[in-house]
Structures are given as C-alpha cells and as structure tokens.
Amino acid sequence: MLTVTMTVNGQKVAKDVDPRTLLVQFLREQLNLTGTHVGCDTSQCGACVVLVDGKSMKACTMLAAQADGCEVTTIEGLAKNGELHPMQAAFKEHHGLQCGFCTPGMIISAVDLLQQNPDPSEHEIREWLEGNICRCTGYHNIVKAIQHAAQDMRS
C-alpha cells in the first residue's frame, strides 16, 4: 500500500491504495465519483477521460500513484455553485448525447480542446475527439454542442 494525495474537484484527498490501482478505480471506488466511466479497459473509448493538471487524460491507463500531487477534475467538478459548465450546458441544449455513457469523457475532452484552441473548426473538433467513441449519436450534435460552447466561452 502507498498513500496518494491529490486535489480532486477542488478538495484535497489522501488515501491508501494498492500501487496497481488505476486512477479510474480510485475515483470511482474510493471517492465514489462515478461520472468517470469505464467503457473498454483498453484506452480506446475515452469514457474515462478526466483533467489532470488541466490536461485530458484517460484515467483507465493512468495509475492513481501517477496522479499523486496533481489536480484532478472529473465531470462532477465542472459545474460551479449549481450552475452547469458552459460545455455541459451546450451538450444539454444541443442534445449532444443519447445514452450518455460517453458524455463525461466527451465533455472533459472538449473542455481541454477549448483551453488549447478556443475557436476550433469542425474538422479540428472531430480530429480531437478521435480518442472518444460514441456508439449512439453519429457525433453531429456533439460537434454542434462544442461549437456552441466555444462561442459562449469566448464571449
């Protein structure tokens, strides 16, 4: 066992973990933050994406110990004071989801995209989301939601 300490959604946490514990397991099983999904266990689907020190990372391929000392933001940490993050609001408004399983990872990935490129083209959005798989939507409304959020966040 080893102790990992990190800030998750603005709260400092310290827990003992097995050194082989994945970050996604730590978040879901030890912190009960179940919005980060486990979809494939092979780093293909992107349902587990979280922000680690502001950058999108697949939590199913990162050990909790690797996040020691880091700031982690999950889908639960995006909303502030009961108000949805602009990306969450845009996904809701533009129906950028169907079953919702991929949605947390899509939203977190899109937040990172807009941090790096506040005005991405449709092609850039689609390229950025290559590591996130949605089996329901065909991506049209996801792209539309990200474009809308980008516009809202710029203004």
- Walk across the sheet containing 11-17 and list its strands: 11-17, 2-8, 71-73, 49-52, 55-58
Helix axes 103-116 and 140-154, enclosed angle (nearest 10): 40
21-79 pLDDT tens trace: 999 999 999 999 999 999 887 888 999 999 999 999 999 999 999 999 999 999 999 99
Computed over every residue of the chain, the mean pLDDT equals 95
78-95 pLDDT tens trace: 999 999 999 999 999 999
Q: Residue 143 maps to which CATH number?
A: 1.10.150.120
Burial of 33 (0-12, 13-18, 19+ CB in 10 A): buried
* pLDDT value for 48: 96
- Pair (66, 8) in one structural domain: yes
- Pair (33, 67) in one structural domain: yes
Instruction: Indicate the number of domains in the chain.
Output: 2
Interior CA angle at 151 toward 150 and 154, to 5°?
85
Enter the pTM of the model.
0.95
* pLDDT value for 136: 87
Q: Residue 31 maps to which CATH number?
A: 3.10.20.30
Domain hosting 138: range is 86-154
Q: What is the CA radius of gyration of the chain?
A: 15
- Pair (71, 93) in one structural domain: no
Cα four-point dihedral sign 55, 58, 61, 63: positive
| Contact indicator for 82, 72 with CB cutoff of 8 Å | no
Name the domain boundary from 22, 46, 77: 77
* pLDDT value for 135: 87
- Pair (73, 9) in one structural domain: yes
- Pair (31, 92) in one structural domain: no
